Structure 1
Amino acid sequence: MSVDPKARLERLAGKIVDFRLRPPTGPYRTFFTPNVVGHVNRLLGHPVPRSYSISTETGPGSEDRALAALLREMDSVGVRLGVMNGRHSVNRPVPVHIEDKELAELTQRTDNRVLGLAGIDFDKPMTEILAGLDTAVKELGLVGVCIEPGLARTPMYADDEKLFPLYERVTELKVPLLFMSGPLAGPDISHTDPVRFDRVARRYSTMPVVLGHGCYPYVKEAIALAFKSEVTGLLNVYVSPDVYVFAPGGSGYVEGINWLPKRFVFASAYSFMGVEDAVRDTLALPLNEDALDDYMYRNAEALLRSAQGGAAQ
């Protein structure tokens, strides 16, 4: 299949939505260390994003300069919006907490170019978690929720009954739920088995479920889950493979996007890959044009409309 990446870039300019973009600021910088970011980018055949490198510089103003560089990078390849997620990673030598208020502040600092998904701190009682979701969506203006049950102090699977009240509240709030899946989603890769997410998506059939990192390495199984969502008419599962499109076996996602274009969502997973590199490499993939448009922005816009009760920003 012959494609013209340059023509595609011109056509998509100012439309693209990056559904997993972690700005190089504050706690994100603590979580995504230079060693980790450098190693992942090398595995993907790219240099560390310039905006991330700026954030590691000493001296005043480096964070502001890094944010400005990130926005320029987004502009250079037509990315209109980014979506960032809160997280509470406690099973680390130095725990990292990316709070909802920090996300709201980053949205303001980027002139609404990067929107936030509320994180879940499983060290808190469920009543406090649910109240926090109300605050995040109704008061702070966050556009969804991100959940990482396999990274809790006591790891859980996505279909653990203890999580059902949380899913019920997300359903009531009418916002999308982004799961962290993939090989790093828990102490072992059973935490990314699509059957867990299948059970949640069927039980809460009106809740949009986005599978960040595409359940890699379960590529075929993730596509099967998307197919099931499509043919049953539930239409609530979205696979977001991000950098794993370019990993061994990731070509299966490309086939899946062409086959089920309404069930996939583009993301760079910045800073694991630069926004510019992710867009340019994606536009070179053998995707048909209509499927490409769905993947790069239409499906994400539909998810954001569900959260905002109207047109996406």
Structure 2
Amino acid sequence: MIIDARCRPMYDEFLKQVENPTGVTARMGMDIPPSVRARSETLMLKEMEDAGISMGIAPGRNGHFRYNVSNNCVVDMVRHFKGKFIGIAGINPSNREQAIRDIDTYVVNGPLKGVNIEPGSMSTPWYANDRRIYPIYEKCSEHKIPVMLMIGGRAGPDTTYSDPKIITNIARDFPDVNFYVSHGGWPWAQVLLGACFWQTNIFLGPDMYLLTGVGTADYVAAAKGFMQDRFLFGSAYPLMPFKPCVDKFMELFGDSDVLDKILYKNAARLFNIDLTSSAD
């Protein structure tokens, strides 16, 4: 079984992501997936099946400078795919009162499994440890809601928005919240992993940045060691194709005795996914 812990499907508002290609697929030495070229849900599901991916975790996006995916759309998407995708609520930290209401509506009293915050990608970028966001983290702490933070890659106008001290501050101040760092803190891999060594409420998924070769050996060593219970597989589809990402992951981890943990068990535990009733 494989859970893809960071992907967005070919569905409704999620299609906005493929309208403005970034060129990152080619820079990773990959081809744009046929399902993305065709904007085809049917092809996407076939590509997932061919890659052995049983389930995807899809975050909404709210407050982004370029495009957003509403939480209503995320809820509809979860229902539409009938267990093939888990939804994460997109939260706009610049509208704190609405953010708190959205957490209540879509997570505490709704079907979504966590919140996704991308403060460095707002029209006016914030760092994720900006004190104006702290009431949102407090809300998540109160209800034991996992928080997905984009800290790594193009998380803001420059690489300071991925500085590991950001997650170090937040994880220290909210020890009861499990923070999932998507994009793996790249390119600050070693320093970010150092923070993870000491702060055990930080979960990590380098997703497509595992393919760069920069920091790859460090991610792999940590995942096979002290991060084995907090490291997650992710593809970053539609930017990356499913099967080549899985193939590379298996090349790196296929002989590891922690493979099941990092392929699906850690994601299921982090996002409270009932594997007994999930898609095969």
* Structure-2-length-normalised TM-score: 0.92
- 1:246 matched to 2:211? The reply is yes
Once the two structures are superposed, the pairs formed by residues 78-97 of structure 1 within 5 Å of their partners are 78-92=52-66, 96-97=67-68
- The answer to which of 284-293 and 128-137 deviates more is 284-293
**Aligned-residue offset at 1:264:** 0.8
Q: Supply the distance in 1 between the matched residues of 2:188 and 2:94 (Cα, whole angstroms).
A: 29
Residue-pair matches, total: 276
Partner residue, 1:289: 256
Partner residue, 2:151: 181
What letter corresponds to residue 102 of structure 1 in structure 2?
A: C
- 1:205 matched to 2:171? The reply is no
Which protein shows a greater Rg?
1
Aligned pair in 2 of structure 1 residues 103, 286: CA closer, same or farther (>3 Å)?
closer
Partner residue, 1:5: none
User: Residue 122 of structure 1 contacts residue 153 of structure 1 at CA under 8 Å; is this kept in 2?
Assistant: no
**Aligned-residue offset at 1:206:** 1.3
Partner residue, 1:220: 190
Q: Percent identity?
A: 28
- 1:169 matched to 2:155? The reply is no
What letter corresponds to residue 83 of structure 2 in structure 1?
A: N
What letter corresponds to residue 156 of structure 1 in structure 2?
A: W
What letter corresponds to residue 17 of structure 2 in structure 1?
A: F
Partner residue, 1:19: 5
- 1:299 matched to 2:266? The reply is yes
**Aligned-residue offset at 1:254:** 1.3
What letter corresponds to residue 27 of structure 2 in structure 1?
A: L
Aligned pair in 2 of structure 1 residues 139, 49: CA closer, same or farther (>3 Å)?
same
Q: Supply the distance in 2 between the matched residues of 1:259 and 1:156 (Cα, whole angstroms).
A: 33
- 1:51 matched to 2:35? The reply is yes
Partner residue, 1:237: 202
**Aligned-residue offset at 1:81:** 1.2
Q: Supply the distance in 1 between the matched residues of 2:104 and 2:160 (Cα, whole angstroms).
A: 31
What letter corresponds to residue 178 of structure 2 in structure 1?
A: P
Aligned pair in 2 of structure 1 residues 170, 309: CA closer, same or farther (>3 Å)?
farther
Once the two structures are superposed, the pairs formed by residues 94-113 of structure 1 within 5 Å of their partners are 96-113=67-84
Q: Supply the distance in 1 between the matched residues of 2:30 and 2:135 (Cα, whole angstroms).
A: 42
**Aligned-residue offset at 1:16:** 0.7
Partner residue, 1:267: 234
Structure 1: runs of 5 or more not aligned:
1-14, 56-65, 230-234
Partner residue, 1:257: 223
**Aligned-residue offset at 1:115:** 1.1
- The answer to which of 209-218 and 292-301 deviates more is 292-301
- 1:28 matched to 2:14? The reply is yes
User: Residue 18 of structure 1 contacts residue 79 of structure 1 at CA under 8 Å; is this kept in 2?
Assistant: yes
**Aligned-residue offset at 1:299:** 0.6
Residue by residue, what CA displacement relative to the aligned partner does 1:118-137 show, whole Å, maximum 9, x if unpaired? Answer: 1112453x222101111011
Residue by residue, what CA displacement relative to the aligned partner does 1:196-247 show, whole Å, maximum 9, x if unpaired? Answer: 1111111111111000000100010121112112xxxxx3111100111111
User: Residue 177 of structure 1 contacts residue 208 of structure 1 at CA under 8 Å; is this kept in 2?
Assistant: yes
User: Residue 93 of structure 2 contacts residue 133 of structure 2 at CA under 8 Å; is this kept in 1?
Assistant: no
Residue by residue, what CA displacement relative to the aligned partner does 1:142-184 show, whole Å, maximum 9, x if unpaired? Answer: 0100001112232211111111110011122222100011131
- 1:158 matched to 2:128? The reply is yes
Partner residue, 2:26: 42
User: Residue 151 of structure 2 contacts residue 181 of structure 2 at CA under 8 Å; is this kept in 1?
Assistant: yes
**Aligned-residue offset at 1:289:** 2.2
Once the two structures are superposed, the pairs formed by residues 55-66 of structure 1 within 5 Å of their partners are 55=39, 66=40
Aligned pair in 2 of structure 1 residues 222, 311: CA closer, same or farther (>3 Å)?
farther
Q: Supply the distance in 2 between the matched residues of 1:130 and 1:159 (Cα, whole angstroms).
A: 17
**Aligned-residue offset at 1:286:** 4.7
Q: Supply the distance in 2 between the matched residues of 1:183 and 1:77 (Cα, whole angstroms).
A: 24
Q: Supply the distance in 2 between the matched residues of 1:304 and 1:204 (Cα, whole angstroms).
A: 17
Q: Supply the distance in 2 between the matched residues of 1:83 and 1:29 (Cα, whole angstroms).
A: 16
Aligned pair in 2 of structure 1 residues 251, 287: CA closer, same or farther (>3 Å)?
farther
